[in-house]
Structure formats: C-alpha cells, structure tokens
Amino acid sequence: MGTRITFVAGLAVGYVLGAKAGRDRYEQIRKATREFVDSAPVQNAGQAAADFGRERGGKAVQKLGEHLPERVGRHLPERFGGQSANGDRAHDARSAAQRRYDDGL
C-alpha cells in the first residue's frame, strides 16, 4: 500500500512540475533530443549497428540456404510416399505421422 501512495505522489509531483515547466521546456528538451539523435557519433553508431545486422543476417540466410534443401530433400518425400533423396520409392507401411514420431521430429 505504501508503494502505491509513493507512486501516486511521484506522479502528482511530476505532473505539477511538468505543467509549471510548460511548453517552452518541452520544446527545449525536444530540440536537445533531436540534436543528440542527429549528431555524427550517434548516426555512425546506428549505421554500424545496421551494417552489423545486415552482415550477420546475410550469413544466417546463407547457412540456412545451405542446409535446408538437404534436410527437406532427405525427409519430406519419404513422409508423403514420394521418392527419397537417393531416388528410391518410399514403400513404408508406417503412416507419415508414425514415421515422424519414430524419427524424433
């Protein structure tokens, strides 16, 4: 209960002080924030983070592209009664669900 009272009191004090500061102070804070965001060091850091994300994302997509066809080619045709990766026809009396369960997938 005491925590709630403290929280509400903090909100009230913040509201009163904010109202007294008014629009001029708000504009001043907004201008300072905009100058900070537009500054060269912040822009460079943002660009470096974006480049890093693109590089790592590209590598992840490449790795996935290398392994996904192999796994799909090995598993899916057998499950639907088609040909397996080695070209053999999949003749298995088990259902597709049972094969998935047996394979641990």
The per-residue pLDDT for range 23-75, each reduced to its tens digit, is 787 788 889 989 999 999 999 999 999 999 999 988 888 888 777 776 666 66
pLDDT for 11: 86
Q: What is the mean pLDDT of residues 93-104?
A: 65
3-state SS class at 89:
strand
Higher pLDDT, 82 or 23: 23
Residue 92, φ and ψ in degrees, nearest 5: -130, 130
Its pTM stands at 0.40
pLDDT for 38: 93
